[in-house]
């Protein structure tokens, strides 16, 4: 099977390979325009130059591998988005910059820039300074594109910081929703459906949601354990 909704980019396979390896997946050299991806040493899927995710049903035999495939798909979509922006973005011209940065977004005195490197594209937000001839107050986000977009949105005033929930807050909301669904509360069908959609949205926003919930449970249990003499 194949999922395909991305446009071809000559740098795409190289960049997505870097990001996936940083996320703990294994990749091999592209073969006939396809990047092989494995998890725990077992082949999982292949990514095409056009962003297609190809896989065999036999390789996706459990929930964990389904989750991994979903994560890889999201990563491919994210990398495709910023690589297309990098390709079209103008060079950032500012005093003191001795490396190549490209201006991905510019609003209200704040700029979001991307820097190509051997570790993948690195992102940073700056305040324009000195009459827009220099930049200052850099927030360096490594290769975390989503965090860089959020930082730009907040710094530039496009959104209020209070509108964002942290991954920890979202994980706790998910747990509370699950508790409401698991207990015999008198919920209408519409309310149950609404709560289910909330969980789906949180799952999309927090890729390591289940790990966060699993880590929080021992801490919660120890907090209610009474000391013994």
82-99: per-residue pLDDT in tens? 999 999 999 999 998 999
Measured in degrees and rounded to the nearest 5, phi and psi for residue 160 equal -85, 145
Quick one: pLDDT at residue 227?
54
For residues 218-223, give the mean pLDDT. 54
Quick one: pLDDT at residue 6?
45
> Is residue 125 over pLDDT 50?
yes
For residues 173-190, give the mean pLDDT. 86
Quick one: pLDDT at residue 201?
86
What's the rounded Cα separation, in Å, for the pair 105 and 113? 7
Q: At 219, is the pLDDT very low, low, confident or very high (cuts 50, 70, 90)? A: low
> Is residue 75 over pLDDT 90?
yes
> Is residue 223 over pLDDT 70?
no
Nearest to 199 by CA among 215, 179, 228: 179
Nearest to 80 by CA among 139, 140, 125, 35: 35
Helix axes 209-223, 167-182, angle to 10 degrees: 80
> Is residue 1 over pLDDT 70?
no
| H or E element in which residue 114 lies | strand 110-115
For residues 158-187, give the mean pLDDT. 82
Quick one: pLDDT at residue 224?
47
């Amino acid at each position: 099977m194949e999922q395909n909704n991305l446009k071809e980019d000559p740098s795409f396979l190289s960049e997505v390979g870097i990001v996936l390896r940083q996320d703990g997946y294994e990749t091999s050299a592209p073969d006939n325009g396809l990047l092989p991806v494995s998890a725990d040493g077992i082949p999982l899927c292949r990514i095409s130059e056009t962003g297609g995710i190809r896989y065999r049903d036999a390789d996706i035999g459990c929930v964990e591998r389904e989750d991994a495939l979903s994560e890889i798909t999201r990563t491919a979509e994210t990398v495709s988005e910023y690589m297309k922006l990098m390709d079209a973005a103008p060079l950032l011209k500012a005093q003191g910059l001795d490396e190549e940065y490209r201006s991905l977004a510019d609003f209200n005195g704040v700029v979001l820039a991307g820097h190509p490197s051997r570790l993948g594209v690195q992102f940073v937000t700056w305040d324009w300074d000195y009459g827009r001839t220099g930049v200052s107050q850099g927030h360096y986000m490594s290769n975390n594109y989503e965090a860089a977009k959020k930082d730009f949105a907040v710094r530039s005033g496009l959104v209020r910081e209070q509108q964002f929930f942290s991954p920890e807050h979202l994980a706790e909301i998910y747990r509370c929703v699950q508790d409401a669904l698991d207990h015999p509360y008198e919920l209408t069908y519409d309310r149950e459906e609404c709560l289910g959609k909330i969980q789906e949205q949180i799952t999309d926003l927090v890729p390591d949601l289940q790990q966060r919930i699993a880590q929080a449970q021992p801490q919660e249990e120890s907090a209610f354990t009474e000391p013994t003499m």
